[in-house]
Chains A and B, each alone.
Chain A
């Protein structure tokens, strides 16, 4: 299913970034081999580490799968950050409003609220692109800023923990949310919670959507060749909006899981632009690109990046190398993966991935 080049090249991009990381470790006075051994040992070496890795991978996978859908529709969704925030805010509001519902009702409800908050935020950008010709790259960036400020307002104002108000410490966070909304822990004594199952189900669902439903077919058709799609009777604006809504919904679920799967069981930020998300809305783009925009390949990809985040913290403790190293390496991986398209084309100049799709579209067009 996956050709040699489409697997090999992203792998090279990661290895190249890790090689540069090794040089940086050397420059910072740490031994790269033992450094990487520490990192990957902490992330994948034992069950507890793997549990942490999986927890970190959840938002990355959900955002990444949403990015797969958007990018496949040729919509560049940079708005994962804002969509996560809006999903989390709506889910938090629902949990605050109905704290007494039983878990069997409340947990699905907050997840749906998360999806709706994110979908709404994504659909705004989609509608602006589809009907007002506003670049989704810019509108999603702006909507990120709006969402973060809106969150800062709510968490320092109406939604702020009454205890914080009373103490006057003013940490922007909600009260401890209803225990009925806590995502159940899967393995006693570890942090791995139900969120990982939800993320896996969403990833498989996205794969099914893209390749086994007519809606997915239309989304890919619009992404592949909007003119041909329009000629075949597919509504391009509606599908662009749908793609951003789906993409946003998945980021929104990620935001909700970040709240209800957290150890503090609150929504917390620090007032900065990445305070709540920890850049997961951007890092999800890295996950999707590395997976070749395939929802199922996003699973190992998210685990790899989740592991790098967990490993980075271990590295910080063991060798005093700040964990920000991993954010920098993620950036390089993005750059290398998108640059490698050039080499991919050179390696297989005649293979058309979606030639089957194109033939189908032309046949439809003749009808």
Chain B
């Protein structure tokens, strides 16, 4: 009897960990692509917040969750073009300008929310998908096959991103430009166009991550992401710039969060101690950064603006 309860709790925790990992995964896959092309984007959290508000408001007005996702992506694309212009054309310092984008997103999403919504009204999240046979499997079914579509989109993007980066000409160009833009340029690869595309796709994914978060939580509020976008950036380093590594990192983060939530629900640990446990991911990341900095090398041209003949 107690065993089956324990199994239920573990299954529920893992399932919720996978759900919680999804926004991290989307955002950090996007950030990884941008960084592979040599551009650091610290504004992920701001882009997520704008995407989250856009999606929330769209769903509130239209009732269509897919429109919400599309609006999140579209807002990410707009911010991506803007970020590309300031970092690629105007060669702005990437660390600091990203903080500018973050503050803009933090303020703008709050402003629009207070002006056009005011009091929080819930929206209804995606229904879990139901796969024949698979979803009905004991244990595994609940763990893996009863999620909403956005979870499968996010995890489906991992092999896609790996394939694009490693097996396509575009991916080769992205990696070449992140390592040695001069050499890539001399071979006729457009540094500007490739970086623009990587930044735009990366920001679109950040916008989608925000949309997914707002829809999953069914709510928007000031600073909804609560620094999730910054953790997504850290996950890129944690995962050593590979889609699979980023996925593993996201899953660890999601699971830690799920375990903390579970403990809170069951009153195993007091509220204050769960705050202490929530420090763990950031501390793990700092330690991982020490290891990564020793073992793996970041893209050589990361944060360096490219000037032809410069």
Contact with B along A124-152 (1 / 0, CB 8 A): 00001000111101110111111011101
- B272 interface residue per 8 A CB criterion: yes
**Complex Cα–Cα for A157 and B102 (A):** 31
A149 in complex: contacting residue of B111, B230, B279, CB < 8 Å: B279
**A residues near B104, Cβ cutoff 8 Å:** 327-328, 331-332, 335
- B294 interface residue per 8 A CB criterion: yes
- A28 interface residue per 8 A CB criterion: yes
**Complex Cα–Cα for A24 and B293 (A):** 43
Closest Cβ of chain B to A22, distance in Å, is 14
**Taking CB as reference atom, which chain A residue is nearest B91?**
A342
- B48 interface residue per 8 A CB criterion: no
**A residues near B282, Cβ cutoff 8 Å:** 142-143, 145-146, 149
- A78 interface residue per 8 A CB criterion: yes
Q: Are B279 and A150 in contact (CB under 8 A)?
A: yes
Interface size class, chain A? 35 or more
- A282 interface residue per 8 A CB criterion: yes
Closest Cβ of chain A to B106, distance in Å, is 6
**Complex Cα–Cα for A145 and B230 (A):** 9
8 residue pairs bridging A and B, Cβ less than 8 Å apart? A128-B289, A133-B293, A138-B237, A141-B42, A142-B283, A150-B276, A325-B107, A325-B111
Contact with B along A170-188 (1 / 0, CB 8 A): 1000000000000000000
Which 7 residue pairs across A and B have the least CB separation, nearest first?
A327-B107, A331-B104, A334-B100, A328-B107, A157-B272, A331-B103, A324-B110
**A residues near B223, Cβ cutoff 8 Å:** 272-274
Q: Are A334 and B99 in contact (CB under 8 A)?
A: yes
Q: Are B99 and A78 in contact (CB under 8 A)?
A: yes
Q: Are B286 and A128 in contact (CB under 8 A)?
A: yes
Given contacts A137-B42, A149-B278, contact A338 B96 (CB under 8 A): yes
B110 in complex: contacting residue of A152, A327, A333, A338, CB < 8 Å: A327
**B residues near A160, Cβ cutoff 8 Å:** 272
**Taking CB as reference atom, which chain B residue is nearest A141?**
B230
**B residues near A11, Cβ cutoff 8 Å:** none
Which B residues between 95 and 119 are near A, CB-CB below 8 angstroms?
95-97, 99-108, 110-111, 114-115
**Complex Cα–Cα for A289 and B106 (A):** 19
- A266 interface residue per 8 A CB criterion: no
- A365 interface residue per 8 A CB criterion: no
**A residues near B3, Cβ cutoff 8 Å:** none
**Complex Cα–Cα for A325 and B86 (A):** 21
B residues whose Cβ falls under 8 Å from a Cβ of A: 40, 42, 46, 86, 90-93, 95-97, 99-108, 110-111, 114-115, 222-223, 226-227, 230-231, 233-234, 237, 270-273, 275-276, 278-279, 281-283, 285-286, 289-290, 293-294
Number of A-B residue pairs with CB-CB distance less than 8 Å in the complex they form: 178
**Taking CB as reference atom, which chain B residue is nearest A329?**
B107
**A residues near B275, Cβ cutoff 8 Å:** 149-150, 152-153, 156-157
Given contacts A322-B115, A339-B97, contact A142 B286 (CB under 8 A): yes
**Taking CB as reference atom, which chain A residue is nearest B227?**
A273
Given contacts A128-B289, A144-B227, A322-B110, contact A331 B100 (CB under 8 A): yes
**Complex Cα–Cα for A132 and B276 (A):** 26
Contact with B along A306-346 (1 / 0, CB 8 A): 00000000000000111011111111111100111110000
Q: Are B108 and A135 in contact (CB under 8 A)?
A: no
**A residues near B97, Cβ cutoff 8 Å:** 334-335, 338-339
- A283 interface residue per 8 A CB criterion: yes
Q: Are A132 and B294 in contact (CB under 8 A)?
A: yes
**Complex Cα–Cα for A178 and B247 (A):** 49
**Taking CB as reference atom, which chain B residue is nearest A285?**
B99
Task: Tell me the dominant secondary structure on chain A's binding face.
Answer: helix
**Complex Cα–Cα for A132 and B104 (A):** 32
- A279 interface residue per 8 A CB criterion: yes
B114 in complex: contacting residue of A143, A282, A322, CB < 8 Å: A322
**A residues near B114, Cβ cutoff 8 Å:** 322, 324
**Complex Cα–Cα for A208 and B54 (A):** 48
A328 in complex: contacting residue of B86, B93, B108, B233, CB < 8 Å: B108
**Taking CB as reference atom, which chain B residue is nearest A124?**
B286
**A residues near B93, Cβ cutoff 8 Å:** 76, 338, 341
Closest Cβ of chain B to A133, distance in Å, is 5
Q: Are A128 and B102 in contact (CB under 8 A)?
A: no
**Taking CB as reference atom, which chain A residue is nearest B89?**
A342
Known: A143-B282, A331-B103, A335-B100; 8 extra A-B contacts, CB below 8 A, are A76-B93, A78-B99, A148-B227, A156-B272, A274-B223, A320-B115, A338-B92, A341-B92
B234 in complex: contacting residue of A138, A153, A326, A333, CB < 8 Å: A138
Q: Are B92 and A142 in contact (CB under 8 A)?
A: no
**Complex Cα–Cα for A76 and B99 (A):** 11
B95 in complex: contacting residue of A78, A146, A149, A333, CB < 8 Å: A78
Q: Are B102 and A282 in contact (CB under 8 A)?
A: yes
Closest Cβ of chain B to A78, distance in Å, is 6
**B residues near A128, Cβ cutoff 8 Å:** 286, 289-290
Q: Are B289 and A338 in contact (CB under 8 A)?
A: no
Q: Are A331 and B92 in contact (CB under 8 A)?
A: no
Most buried by B among A143, A170, A283, A331: A331
**Complex Cα–Cα for A135 and B299 (A):** 13
Q: Are B270 and A157 in contact (CB under 8 A)?
A: yes
**Taking CB as reference atom, which chain A residue is nearest B286?**
A142
Closest Cβ of chain A to B247, distance in Å, is 19
Closest Cβ of chain A to B225, distance in Å, is 9
Closest Cβ of chain B to A361, distance in Å, is 23
Q: Are A322 and B111 in contact (CB under 8 A)?
A: yes
**B residues near A78, Cβ cutoff 8 Å:** 42, 95, 99
Given contacts A141-B230, A272-B223, contact A331 B96 (CB under 8 A): no
**Complex Cα–Cα for A318 and B101 (A):** 28
**B residues near A342, Cβ cutoff 8 Å:** 90-92
**Taking CB as reference atom, which chain A residue is nearest B282?**
A145
**B residues near A332, Cβ cutoff 8 Å:** 100, 104
**Complex Cα–Cα for A272 and B223 (A):** 8
Given contacts A333-B100, A339-B90, A341-B93, contact A138 B289 (CB under 8 A): yes
